[in-house]
Structure 1
């Protein structure tokens, strides 16, 4: 794996962390439009990552970052506070984000065949 690809996946993980954090704050802060907006942001990142890398890893990398951020936001703080409440919106965001991540990783496009693949097919 080349350095550019490693940096791309690392950037996608960091973007997933930031998207999970922002989504956690938005879904709780806006009463009616927060959950759809947070899920749309996550879906855009997951699908965009899969399109950027032309593979499932492009959806899995930001989803992993998103999941880490969401799990950290669900743990109680020493003061007893939660970022996620026990409301329906928080559960829709958690399970909806996981479902979107699985969907984007499942329907990711295969990598574009390179010159080596074309030469191999022509010789067979």
Structure 2
């Protein structure tokens, strides 16, 4: 069983050295957990819905898509597919190296993969 408090604690561990937000949400954009600073212009649940929409559009062009990195004006958002049905995203400021963001995303995804897979199998 994956507990909400434990999930928030794990997501919060990557929020260092320029990384200021991490999300876990499903492919439909339903936010399950968010840790980080809330943007004054866009709420975390809106961001997850937008990222899920971007993922769907990218996935139509590449069937085997597993990761995407958006380099934006004010920072970087990297997101990846975990457990076949969930998306994990990490946001950083513009001073953070893309490689560091990607490394944090991969380590967090590897850590969460098995617990999320076990939950999804329990629900089948």
Flag the structure with higher helix content: 1
Q: Which has the higher contact order (CA 8 A, sep 6+)?
A: 1
**Which TM-score applies when normalising by structure 1?**
0.29
Flag the structure with higher strand content: 2
**Which TM-score applies when normalising by structure 2?**
0.29
Q: Which has the higher Rg, Structure 1 or Structure 2?
A: 1
